[in-house]
Structure 1
Amino acid sequence: MLPTIRHLLTLIRFSHTLFALPFALLAMLMAGRKLRLVFAKGIVYPDPSKDWHDYDSALPYWSALWNDFGYFMIQWEEVYGVLLCMVFARSTAMAFNRIADRKIDAENPRTAARHLPAGVLSLPQVSVFALLSATGFIASTLLFLPNWLPAALSVPVILWLCGYSYAKRFTSLAQFWLGAALGLSPVAAWIAIRGQAVMADPWDLLPAAILGAAVLTWVAGFDTLYACQDYEHDKSAGLRSVPTALGVPGALRLAAVLHALTVVLLALVPLAFPPFGMIYWGGVVAIALLLVYEHRLVRPDDLSRVNLAFFHVNAVVSLGLLVIGTVDLLV
C-alpha cells in the first residue's frame, strides 16, 4: 500500500501543487480581509459584535474604504475547504491527464518512463485514484455551505480541468487552456469566501479576476517554454501546441510577451484591491526580475535548462508572491 501511495504522489507530482496553491491562498486572504465600510451617515460597519458575513451580501464593493489595519475574517472550515479543494482538484486533473496521455507518453522518449507507460501503476489504480480525487473535491466544496456557489460550480470546474488533457489534440492553444485552469484557483478561492458578495455585486470579484488573469498568462508562458522540449515529437505525432504552431523561436518570444503581460496584470491588482502597498509593489518588481532570469536560461538552440526555469524559478514566483502579499496585508 505505501509504495502505491508513493507512486501515486509522484504520478501527480504533488509537489507541483505549489504552482497554483499560493495564488489560491493569497486570494483567500484578500477576500477575507476585514472591511470597514463608512457611509455618509457616519455608520461604521461591521459591528464588532456581529459576524462580518452578516453584512456581506448587503454592502456594495464600491462603497468600501479599506481600514489600513484590518485583519482576516475567515472561518477555519473555509481554510480547510480551500486547501482540500486545491489538492483534490489538481490530483484529479493530473491523474486524468496521465490516463488520457498514456499512449502518447509511451511514444515520447522524454515521457516513456512515466508510471502508466512503464507499468509502475496500472490503469485501474490510476482511474480509481482519479475518481476518488474528484469525489473528494466535490465533497470539500460542502465545507463552504451555506455558500452554495462552490458546490454548484464544482462539476463544471472539474470538467474544465480534465478537458485540458485533450486540448493538444485539437487546438494550438493548449498552453492557454492550462493557464486558464490554474487561473481559476484565485477566482474560486474568492468565490468560496465571498460568494454572497459576488452574487450581490459581480464587481466584487474584480481583484481575484485580475489575479487569475495574471496566473493565466504566467502559466501559459512557462508551459510554452516547457512544451518546447517536445517540439519534434509533437510535430511528428500531429499534436498541437504553441511551439508546433510558431516554432521554438516564435514560442519563446510569445512566452516572453505573456510574462511581460503577467507583470502588468500583477501591477494592476492594487488598483482593484487598495490594501496592497509598497511591499506588494516590491514583490512585483522582484517577480519581473525572476521572469527575466527565467527567459535568459532558455534559448532556441539550448533547452537544457528548461527544467530549472520551469520548476525552481516558478516555485519561487508563486510562493514569493504569497509571502509578500500576506506580509503587506498584515503590516
Structure 2
Amino acid sequence: MMENNASMRILLVDDVQLDRMQLAIRLKQQGHNVEAVSGGREALEVFYDFDPELVLLDITMPEMDGFEVAQRIREQDDDWRPIIFLSSHEEPHFISKAIDAGGDDYLIKPVDRVVLTAKLTAMQRIAMMRRELQSTSSELERVNYRLMKQVNEDGLTKLFNRRFMDEQLQKIVNFHGRHEIPFSLILFDVDHFKPYNDNYGHIEGDKCLIKISNAINNLFTRTEEYVGRYGGEEFVVLLANTDLDKLEQACGRIHKAIVELNIENSGSLVSDIVTVSQGGITFIPHGNESVDSLYEQADKLLYQAKKNGRASYVIETIDP
C-alpha cells in the first residue's frame, strides 16, 4: 500500500463492467481513490464533485465516445487533469485522434500491469506538483486578500474606506444604468457626537463608532450591499436593486439598530442615548452620474433630517 499523499483520485470510465471492475480493484489495491462509471455522460456529471487528478477513459462507448468526453472536459475545465485513453485499438490514427482530443497518453487493453504501474507513477508526480502549485496559489490568494482588505478598509471601524466606497458606487451606478435597475444610497451621521467626545473622551468616542459600525455592517450582508465610513462620524450605505420602499425599510432598520445599542449620550439634545440622522436617495441611474453629485444629493436630505430634529431620516426618489 502506498503512502496516502502519493495516492490519487482517479476517474475510471469504461462501459464494459468486467474490465471496469478489474481495473478499479487493481487501482484501489495500489492505494488510489477510484470513482468508476460506465459512460461518458455519467463521467461528466461526477467530474467536478469528485475532482479527479487522473482520468482513465475508454474510447469505444455507447451514447458518447471517449474522444467527445475528453473534448468536453478540456472545454469546460480550466485546470488541466491528465487523461489516459484505454482502447483495444492499436491503429496509429486512433492514437493520433486521442491526443488531438486532449489525451495525454494511450494504453492498449488489456492493460499490462507493469505498464500501468509505470504510468501511474508518472501521473503521481504530476499530481504532487499540481497539489503543491494549488497550495502555493491558495496561499497567494490569502495574502492578496489580506492586502486588499488592508488597502480598502478604514483603520478604526474596519468598514470599507471612502476610496473603496467611491469606486464601488461608480461601478454600481454604471451597471444599474445599463440595466435600468433602481439603486439607493444612504448617508448618516451620529447626532451630537462632539458633545459625546467632550463628555466621555475620544477613546470612548472611538468605541462608540466601532459599535455603530459593527451593528450596521451586520444589517447589510447581501451581495452588492456595502457599508463604509464616509469620514469622521459619517457613514455611507450602498444598496443595489433597492427602490423607495426598500430604502425606507433600510433606514428604519438602521434607526432601530442604533437605538438598540443603548449607548448613553448625556450631551445629546435629542435623546439620552446615541442616535443618528439619515438622508437617503433612490434612483435609476443614467449611468453617467458623478459620485460627488450623488453624495451631495444624499447630504442635502441628511441636512433636512437634522433640521427636522435629528434621530430621523429623510428619503427621496431623485432623477439625477
TM-score bin, normalised by smaller chain: under 0.3
Q: TM-score normalised to the size of structure 2?
A: 0.28
Q: TM-score normalised to the size of structure 1?
A: 0.27
Higher strand share: 2
